[in-house]
Structure 1
Amino acid sequence: MQYFKEINSFLSSSSFFYTIAIGLDSRYSYVSDNYNRNFALSEKSLLGKHFSTTLHPDDIVICAEAGMKCLQNPGVLIPAKLRKHDGEGGFVITQWEMQGIFSEKNEPEGVFCIGYNITELVSAQTEIETKNMKLSEISFIQSHGVRKPLANIIGISHLLADIEVGPDVRQLHEKLIASANDLDMVIKEIASKAE
């Protein structure tokens, strides 16, 4: 228990980390100031409240299962990603590591948890995944949708090279070949950057 008191003392005024302890009665037995600031909403303190008070309804089971694992596996850190009320009708995403608290007689007393807000990280990861999907689609369109008509244009322009035409048409033909080759180079460069 002294170990958890030292950690709480160290993190008591952290503005990044939340520290809490939940007793065997499923109620908060310790709540850091930062946790209260972010999740107590209209309450002064969450101390003594049921742990589910701050959670998204779908995450209550995840949290309860993680707590049980902590009590079944002394000394093991159990991770959990949980959504917490943000006070504005929405939720923030938090990442937690939890560990069982045991008495000197090795009897379970509760669960100690340390967490932090990962909402921005999750949002950035989602944005990156969305952009990667768009890049994949662009790459597919470029390689299958654009390359075929361009190859046809280049092929036709090479066939035109064998036809006798006047100097004006020949000059247009040369510009057509040059433009098609330029476009082909641009598409190849785009493809190499999309890989």
Structure 2
Amino acid sequence: MTSFEETKQLLENSTFYYIITTNMEGRYTYVNNCYNEAFRDIHGCIVGQPYEVTMHSDDCKVCEEVALQCFTNPACTFPATIRKHDGKGGYLITQWEYKAILDEDGNPAGMFCLGYDITDYTAYHEQLQDAKSLLQEISFYQSHVVRRPLANIMGLAKVLENMPLDQNVRNICKMLIENSLQLDAVIKEAAARQLVD
């Protein structure tokens, strides 16, 4: 219990981390200033209220499952991702570490949770995934749709190059082949870079 008290003191005024504790009835027994600031205007005084008041109802099951893991393995911490009401009809996405609180006799006494807001991170992650999907689509398009007609152009230019032509047309064929090879190399390089990323 001492380490929980020390952690609570250390992060009482954190601007980044949330700290909460609940009793065995699932009611808040402590919230640090960061958590209080984030949710007080939405829910009023949080201490004494049931833990589920701040969260999406579907996430209550997550809390129950993680709490069971904590009490089954009290030496360990367990992660949970929980959506919290933002007061605007939406949700903040929060990431937590849960740890069982035991009394002096080793019996379950409550839950200690350390968390933070990952809403922006999640949004950026989704944007990155969308960008990667787009790049993969472009890479496929380049390597399959663009390269096929490019290969045809290169082949036709080589056929022309071997025909009896005046020097001017022969030079044009040579430039056409060189530029086609350069474009093909750029497309291959872009596709290779996409595979590495």
Q: TM-score, normalised by structure 2?
A: 0.91
Query: Deviations along 1:64-94, whole A, 9 cap, x unmatched?
Result: 2212222222221111011111122111111
* Aligned residue in 2 for 1:156: 156
* Equivalent residues of 1:71, 1:110 under 8 A apart: no
CA apart distance, 1:120: 1.7
**What is the alpha-carbon distance in structure 2 between the residues aligned to residue 9 and residue 47 of structure 1?**
17
Give runs of aligned pairs for residues 23-172 of structure 1, distance below 5 A.
23-172=23-172
- Residues 154, 71 of structure 1: CA spacing in aligned structure 2 closer, same or farther, 3 A cutoff? same
Letter aligned with residue 144 of structure 1: H
Stretch deviating more after TM superposition (129-138 or 21-30): 129-138
**What is the alpha-carbon distance in structure 1 between the residues aligned to residue 61 and residue 146 of structure 2?**
50
* Aligned residue in 2 for 1:190: 190
* Equivalent residues of 1:22, 1:112 under 8 A apart: yes
Stretch deviating more after TM superposition (132-141 or 168-177): 168-177
- Residues 146, 39 of structure 1: CA spacing in aligned structure 2 closer, same or farther, 3 A cutoff? same
SS in structure 2 of the partner of residue 84 of structure 1? strand
**What is the alpha-carbon distance in structure 1 between the residues aligned to residue 80 and residue 23 of structure 2?**
18
Query: Deviations along 1:128-184, whole A, 9 cap, x unmatched?
Result: 222112111111111111111111110111111122234443343333223322322
* Aligned residue in 1 for 2:8: 8
- Residues 55, 43 of structure 1: CA spacing in aligned structure 2 closer, same or farther, 3 A cutoff? closer
Stretch deviating more after TM superposition (47-56 or 180-189): 180-189
Q: Which runs of 4+ in 1 moved over 4 A?
A: none
**What is the alpha-carbon distance in structure 2 between the residues aligned to residue 171 and residue 107 of structure 1?**
89
Letter aligned with residue 182 of structure 2: D
RMSD: 1.6
CA apart distance, 1:4: 1.5
Letter aligned with residue 101 of structure 2: I
User: What stretches of structure 1 of length at least 5 have no aligned partner?
Assistant: none
**What is the alpha-carbon distance in structure 2 between the residues aligned to residue 22 and residue 164 of structure 1?**
89
User: What stretches of structure 2 of length at least 5 have no aligned partner?
Assistant: none
**What is the alpha-carbon distance in structure 1 between the residues aligned to residue 161 and residue 168 of structure 2?**
13
Letter aligned with residue 190 of structure 1: A
* Aligned residue in 1 for 2:180: 180
Aligned length: 195
